[in-house]
Structure 1
């Protein structure tokens, strides 16, 4: 199979991400003696500047890391929590049935900064100034405007001018949508990072003390003060069509810290796959593997492969809807959901035809509770795609279109993977705080995220809104071990689709014999069957999107099986990247092995990039 670009092979280090500037910045760290964690943190901060429509400083980051010194996979949870004042009754009193998809009411504690700093402190070697330097420089001097940035800002430009003037001041230089290829700066963000570094370095030469001082500046100092003041100030229009202030307070920020946790794992065909806990959707990936364990996918026809994988996803994601939530507040029966006995029973529901039902299971005999959307499914008439699909959804719902647009835009998120010559490896999926999320805080140069839109305004379901809880996020980095040793770090943006596209990628490598780049380039597919995690929380039962490069006979077979197939542009589904360590690789100074480090990145959108040597 031909590929769009070479699969990289080397033995010094590899970085793959959704933007070439981040990959290059990360690789420059590896070239100068930094390790995978230093490189990942550097690349993560660059992504905030290079892809501001997909993530930002006000967002969050989950990551899976392998440390050679620890000899284990750990989960870094940089997912912030809901405010203490965020109760179901508080939103109901505002006349809301759903948490708005934009604006301040959907804000959680911005966890990305704390997550990256935790990684840097525990496993990194570089100082804060050094890992922030590339992002600070890009914010000050500017980054090239991607076509997608131009389109995203253009879609919301009128809304910015009318309703979010602080965002207009930041993202509409000279009151114009920046042209593709133009230089886009963010001097306010550069000033924020410069002040954080200065306050951190004032605490002396100790690296850990410096990093902790930076964390305090963000969550207890001037950054927290500005965020709290902004939320307590005037109201801003959101997707409800009305103006609301925010609930996030200084106490919410000061009481939160990023954490290190054990990953959820599942053994499948000789590999151990690692994901976040059920505060994210990651275990749905593992449950799909548990369901698919009963099939010979290597022998399946192309249509049978797509059908079986899709039907397994429907069952796993139905369980996500009924059972996943922050395990500190919800009793999530994860061990049963991933058990072979439970999935043997669930597998019997997969038949020869596509299911049009949402069918959660009854682990341990418990009755599932589904938080159903309150209204009809909204569809974007221009694209035929559910308007809530992707990250984020931005819309002005006042009953009128403005200059030909309702402010609605499909978004995404970011991903990066790093492996170094010592064997350390990182998979991270930063997201949130998109420039379209909420009004820009002018003193800081960034906006808050909207992750609380994933919480249901209903008592009972595990993913219901609760004060101080993590929303059940879609962000889902992936990791796989072979014989207890790190093998593969991978992932993709894409909201609910992350743990569909990533599953297909891994299955293609394991069962179809594809290389990393081949598996990324192969025609992709995903289901819209399960309710979206994003406002307005709709679903399209039975709908299956496939890239139009898919063989026509396969499409016909899928339709015969009852799937409502909707072909999409041939290079539009998925933004995967991956790094790997071949079997036989040994970290220096041990005897050299026979394997290499490898990397691959997504060609879709013409911005993903892998680099290494």
Structure 2
């Protein structure tokens, strides 16, 4: 099969990510003796600088890793919880039906910093200063703005100029939208990370002591104090059209620590796939796999209507279960075991018929009937919302700039991903997001914005994902890991919000069932379905839509329409942002490493040797 680039093959180390500078950073760490944990953390901090429209220091990151020393898979929950002041009744009393998509109200505890450093402390070998040096360098000395950063700034320039003046100072040099390809600096962020390193070095002369000191700076020291002060005293305009102060406080940050967990798993032939728990979207992938175990996918070509239809219908069923059942298991009995039960998934698979499903169809789990949120909340919200400044996801306007971005076609965004495997066999997959430059104003004293992850919760009482103080919002972020024949084999993932566990599933099946190599499986024509309320404000529900690349055969598109799908044909290379790395031993017992990266958007790269 034709591929846009070769599958990378090496024996020393491989990395793949959504930005070439992050991939280069990871490989540079490996070349200088660091392990996969050092490399992933350094690259993760670089992604905060070079993809600021898709993630930032104030965001979150779920991480999956394989430790060769421990011979175990683990997940790090870098999804922070809701603040103590996040009272859904109080928000409803304000006239809100949904948590706003931008501003300060939807900020959860920023978990990315804690998750990266927790993994680094437990499994890395590099110092805090060494890991943060590349990100500090790019923030201080400059990094090239990819076109989508300029498009993101263009989309919200009026908001920055009129309301979020600290963001205008950060992202509108000389008062103008910066040109794609120009070098941009983030001196405020560079100063924050530099101060953390210097304070950590003053407090301790050991590697782990400095990491602990940095965590203290972030969650109990000057970073948390500045976030508290900004949220208390700086009301900002949000999607309600009004100005509101934030809910996040020092105590919320001081009381939180990342959790290291055993991931959820499901077997599929030779493979065991691992995902983060039911506080994430990850089990959607596993549910689909379980439904498709006996679907005979090997007899259908990857671009055939039979292949696409069966996977699309499994996605509809799994996403309906996400809506009805997913949430923080610390706040309710978790139904995850029931959702992944063989009998339950076989029964769900029987609901995949010859024609496209037209309604939401969550399952009954453990004898309990499903309950769905009030989906009319989105309609009520839009009737009185201020949508001039975009939606809850990052939005992008067409370039070149014009006077009013609202006259241009607007595209919603996604996030970031990185995979790393080192010569020892350690593996890391991470999907950082949140704290986008367009999510909330830049905090002047820190140089970064807060996340808006609480927009993924509901204000309606009694749901698994209802907003509650101390509760983690159910995130769309979903890295993946797979064993093969019981041995660690592959890390992979993609940006894409609600699409993540659709694009990554099709990639996995093309590789595991049809034998495509990593790059072939990434390059192959892709699609996604919309058949659920969106996770991002304003949570609008679309049913039975399949968006599919035009590279599919016309006969496949026609057959899908005949089966009742609402087919929307997109650009040839418009679906998916996959990255992947794998490891295996050859016949002589040598460790062979492979990697592939997404060609769509012309910035994702894989590297290795």
**Please, what TM-score do these two structures have when normalized by structure 2?**
0.95
TM-aligned CA deviation for residue 377 of structure 1: 6.4
Q: Give the whole-Å Cα distance in 1 for the aligned partners of 2:370 and 2:395.
A: 28
- Partner SS for 2:412: coil
CA contact under 8 A between 2:156 and 2:390: conserved in structure 1? Answer: no
1:588 matched residue in structure 2: none
Does structure 1 residue 573 correspond to structure 2 residue 575? yes
Aligned residue among 457, 460, 469 for 1:458: 460
Does structure 1 residue 354 correspond to structure 2 residue 356? yes
- Partner SS for 1:541: strand
1:488 matched residue in structure 2: 490
2:422 matched residue in structure 1: 420
Tell me: CA distance 1:377–1:560, structure 2 relative to 1, closer, same or farther (3 Å): farther
TM-aligned CA deviation for residue 512 of structure 1: 1.6
2:187 matched residue in structure 1: 187
TM-aligned CA deviation for residue 350 of structure 1: 0.7
Does structure 1 residue 405 correspond to structure 2 residue 406? yes
Q: Give the whole-Å Cα distance in 2 for the aligned partners of 1:265 and 1:164.
A: 43
Does structure 1 residue 164 correspond to structure 2 residue 164? yes
Q: Give the whole-Å Cα distance in 1 for the aligned partners of 2:95 and 2:562.
A: 44
Q: Give the whole-Å Cα distance in 2 for the aligned partners of 1:72 and 1:595.
A: 18
1:328 matched residue in structure 2: 330
TM-aligned CA deviation for residue 347 of structure 1: 1.2
* Residues 558-581 of structure 1, C-alpha deviations (whole Å, 9 max, x = no match): 000000000111111110000000
TM-aligned CA deviation for residue 238 of structure 1: 0.7
Mapping of 1:287-302 within 5 angstroms?
287-301=287-301, 302=304
2:90 matched residue in structure 1: 90
TM-aligned CA deviation for residue 43 of structure 1: 0.2
2:504 matched residue in structure 1: 502
1:149 matched residue in structure 2: 149
Mapping of 1:335-374 within 5 angstroms?
335-374=337-376
1:521 matched residue in structure 2: 523
- Partner SS for 2:543: coil
Aligned residue among 576, 593, 611 for 2:607: 611
Q: Give the whole-Å Cα distance in 1 for the aligned partners of 2:240 and 2:550.
A: 36
Tell me: CA distance 1:57–1:558, structure 2 relative to 1, closer, same or farther (3 Å): same
CA contact under 8 A between 1:158 and 1:402: conserved in structure 2? Answer: no
1:471 matched residue in structure 2: 473
TM-aligned CA deviation for residue 294 of structure 1: 1.8
1:116 matched residue in structure 2: 116
* Residues 263-282 of structure 1, C-alpha deviations (whole Å, 9 max, x = no match): 00000011100000000010
TM-aligned CA deviation for residue 406 of structure 1: 7.9
Q: Give the whole-Å Cα distance in 1 for the aligned partners of 2:395 and 2:104.
A: 14
Tell me: CA distance 1:376–1:275, structure 2 relative to 1, closer, same or farther (3 Å): closer
- Partner SS for 1:605: coil
1:441 matched residue in structure 2: 443
TM-aligned CA deviation for residue 149 of structure 1: 0.5
TM-aligned CA deviation for residue 410 of structure 1: 1.2
- Partner SS for 1:555: helix
TM-aligned CA deviation for residue 389 of structure 1: 8.6
Q: Give the whole-Å Cα distance in 1 for the aligned partners of 2:370 and 2:146.
A: 44
2:136 matched residue in structure 1: 136
**Please, what TM-score do these two structures have when normalized by structure 1?**
0.95
CA contact under 8 A between 1:168 and 1:175: conserved in structure 2? Answer: yes
1:41 matched residue in structure 2: 41
2:15 matched residue in structure 1: 15
Q: Give the whole-Å Cα distance in 1 for the aligned partners of 2:396 and 2:549.
A: 25
CA contact under 8 A between 1:488 and 1:581: conserved in structure 2? Answer: yes
TM-aligned CA deviation for residue 550 of structure 1: 1.0
TM-aligned CA deviation for residue 394 of structure 1: 9.1
TM-aligned CA deviation for residue 234 of structure 1: 2.4
Q: Give the whole-Å Cα distance in 2 for the aligned partners of 1:311 and 1:404.
A: 36
1:237 matched residue in structure 2: 237
TM-aligned CA deviation for residue 64 of structure 1: 0.4
2:595 matched residue in structure 1: 599
Q: Give the whole-Å Cα distance in 1 for the aligned partners of 2:350 and 2:78.
A: 37
2:280 matched residue in structure 1: 280
CA contact under 8 A between 1:392 and 1:534: conserved in structure 2? Answer: no
Q: Give the whole-Å Cα distance in 2 for the aligned partners of 1:244 and 1:564.
A: 40
CA contact under 8 A between 2:155 and 2:396: conserved in structure 1? Answer: no
1:204 matched residue in structure 2: 204
Aligned residue among 537, 541, 544 for 1:542: 544
Q: Give the whole-Å Cα distance in 1 for the aligned partners of 2:334 and 2:361.
A: 17
TM-aligned CA deviation for residue 205 of structure 1: 1.5
Does structure 1 residue 561 correspond to structure 2 residue 557? no
TM-aligned CA deviation for residue 242 of structure 1: 1.2
* Residues 82-122 of structure 1, C-alpha deviations (whole Å, 9 max, x = no match): 10110111211211100000000000000000000001000
TM-aligned CA deviation for residue 602 of structure 1: 0.3
- Partner SS for 1:106: coil
CA contact under 8 A between 1:239 and 1:394: conserved in structure 2? Answer: no
CA contact under 8 A between 1:394 and 1:436: conserved in structure 2? Answer: no
Q: Mean Cα displacement is larger for which, 270-279 or 198-207?
A: 198-207
Aligned length: 596
Tell me: CA distance 1:550–1:409, structure 2 relative to 1, closer, same or farther (3 Å): closer
- Partner SS for 1:432: coil
Q: Give the whole-Å Cα distance in 2 for the aligned partners of 1:538 and 1:55.
A: 23
Cα RMSD between the aligned structures? 1.9
1:530 matched residue in structure 2: 532
2:253 matched residue in structure 1: 253
